[in-house]
């Protein structure tokens, strides 16, 4: 089992997953991030069964969203830039493990899946409403990412179904 901690969330991946915290890569941080002004990155890349999962995590369970940018646009840019970053890392990464992971993520690729893992306050009120309405985000993601993943997922730790290759718990 591979575990990745992102903030207060613990992602546990099954044995058949190859997983990496992409936005922590040396290649991304030191080489690719400054590409075209400012490249963005998803949090986690997971490869399993010829599918590459691009997972972005947004946790508004404690702090509200303060960005004015539409979340659909934000995620679409991160997905686009991550895919470009994986191609560049396959060729130019200095760290051997990053180069190998990028090669794996692109090698036998049949499907790219996008997941927005969106945690929100447990108790909703007028003062602290849901940060983002998942029902509004999913159609925006489908529209913006249709050439990459026609069926992106918007989940939280309660709605993440068991057919996925990972689980999420609070740390």
Question: What CA–CA distance (Å, rounded) separates 98 from 114?
Answer: 20
| Structure token digits, residue 146 | 């249709």
- The average confidence (pLDDT) of the chain is 89
Structural domains in the chain?
16-157 (3.40.91)
Query: Which residues, other chains included, contact 117 with Cβ-Cβ below 8 Å and sequence gap of 6+?
Result: 9, 55, 56, 57, 58, 155, 156, 157, 160, 168
Q: Of the candidates 75, 58, 60, 56, which has an alpha carbon nearest to the alpha carbon of residue 131?
A: 60
Instruction: Please report, for residues 75, 77, 145, the alpha-carbon distance to residue 69 in angstroms, rounded to integers and kept in the order given.
Output: 10, 11, 17
**pLDDT tens digits for 19-77?**
999 999 999 999 999 988 899 999 999 999 889 999 999 988 766 766 778 899 999 99
HSE value, Cβ hemisphere, 13 Å, CA-based, for 105:
29
**pLDDT tens digits for 80-117?**
999 999 999 999 999 999 999 999 999 978 999 999 99
- Band (pLDDT 50/70/90 cuts) for residue 130 is low
Model confidence pTM above 0.85: yes
Residue 4 has pLDDT above 80, yes or no: yes
């Amino acid at each position: 089992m591979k575990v990745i901690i992102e903030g207060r969330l613990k992602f546990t991946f099954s044995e058949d997953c190859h997983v990496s915290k992409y936005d922590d890569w040396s290649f991304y941080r030191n080489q690719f991030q400054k590409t075209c002004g400012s490249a963005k990155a998803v949090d986690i890349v997971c490869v399993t069964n010829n599918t590459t999962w691009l997972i972005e995590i947004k946790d508004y369970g404690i702090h509200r969203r303060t960005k004015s940018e539409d979340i659909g646009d934000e995620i679409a840019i991160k997905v686009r830039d991550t895919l470009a970053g994986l191609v560049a890392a396959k060729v130019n990464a200095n760290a051997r493990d990053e180069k190998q992971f990028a090669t794996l993520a692109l090698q036998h690729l049949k499907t790219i899946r996008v997941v927005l893992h969106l945690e929100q306050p447990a108790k909703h009120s007028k003062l602290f409403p849901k940060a983002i309405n998942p029902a509004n985000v999913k159609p925006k993601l489908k529209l913006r990412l249709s050439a990459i993943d026609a069926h992106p997922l918007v989940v939280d730790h309660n709605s993440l179904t068991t057919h996925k290759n990972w689980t999420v718990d609070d740390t």
